[in-house]
Structure 1
Amino acid sequence: MGETSRKLFAEALGTALLLAVVIGSGIMAERLAGGNVAIALLANTLATVGGLYILIEVFGPVSGAHFNPAVSLVMAVRGAMPRALAAPYIVVQLGGAMLGAWLAHAMFDATIFQFSTKVRSGMGQWIAEAVATAGLLLVILRAPASRVAAMVACYIGAAYWFTASTSFANPAAAIGRMFSDSFAGIAPASAPGFVIAELVGAGIGVAVHKALSPAAPTPDIAATSTDTTPHSSS
């Protein structure tokens, strides 16, 4: 398997497993929580944090472990990955997300092909998704390489609770969850608003990262600072 094929396979498989973790743990939590939504969300959160950490550690060295079209777009624009790979990454992420939903259903003997009826809409939800995604991109761009997995997983776990939307922060997750009428699902009519908010949030995250970064020296300043030639005082 060539390098590009390995990257795409890793993104597809990683995204599928991520959605299987999110949706599968949501189904299990809903079945065991006895109607207690807070307990169900806590269980869903813990499973997602652990699963996301492991998936980033496993697939990061192969593909970067984006599992998220917003992340892939930002990395391509910043030159951190070839721009020609952005579209293939997004395609396999979306496909993987859908397959992950179906895998979760199969594991719990649920109907494989289904659509969510859980409406998630309104300004508060959209603002929450923008905030969640902005924070995610900020963490990814500023975290030390050795701590990305832990910091991203911890941030998403926190954002499950401090955002009104429970922090999808990922267009692929929004698309994949459309195919599951479960605790973690989102109605197809609600998904476009989430995706738009996530993309806006990604842009905000990049802007904040730039604002926090020291300005690059101008060529004149750089030349002056490195010039060791003695200067006449006359």
Structure 2
Amino acid sequence: MARAVGDLLAEFDAGLEEEVHLPPSWNVAPTDDVPIVLERLIDGGPVRQLHVARWGLVPSWAKDPGIGARMINARSETVLEKPAFRKAMKSRRCAVPADGYYEWKQGAGKAKQPYYVHPGNSAGLVFAGLYEWWKDPSKAEGEPGRWMLSTSILTADTPPPGAESTVFGKLTALHDRVPIPMDAATMESWLDPHAQDPAALVDLVRAGVKGVAADWHVESVGRDVGNVRHNSPELIRPVEALF
């Protein structure tokens, strides 16, 4: 995610509850900080805010934050049933901005080829997400780090290949799941704190995957992205695929 905080505030017409520090990253890994956009009811009305959250949702009942590394994604088919996600699905929904995402394809032997998936029009993505607050029992009230904000991204089945877009065949070849993207109208409904039907919202975001993803590009990139120590725009530069 390489967009600056000021650009995100303008793009999503959001405000800040507190100062946000979020350096650009071209290699976001689980448990890293990511931007999220959410809406809260303040004085009876919805207020849209930009926050920084740890990628990997930590449920409020977790004994420690380590569980978050396994909660980077939430399957949309079961999100209403899973204890880690169902409460957040009702009232703690968010949008997770991104420029694109990486996926890996297995080749011969142990070799894997990374691919960068991104919109073809150079615009950003926004994924359907959930957020949660976790209280660190080892810290006193008011102590820095007492509360941790974390997030998870909803996923869905990869759209089947079809005549309407060649990208779905490429996506299917990479993985059977995709993070759920939203257009502007869907995001408005997803973030609405007045919404009372979480099942309908899940259906809404799932139904929109194919339309939003139809113009995505899938490009092979260098394997440096597999090492979190590498973090620069060079990571998303297309290269010739290994296979």
Which TM-score applies when normalising by structure 1? Answer: 0.29
- Structure with the higher fraction of residues in helix conformation: 1
Which TM-score applies when normalising by structure 2? Answer: 0.28
- Structure with the higher fraction of residues in strand conformation: 2
Of structures 1 and 2, the one scoring higher in RCO (CA 8 A, sep 6+) is 1
- Determine which structure has more spread, i.e. the larger CA radius of gyration: 1
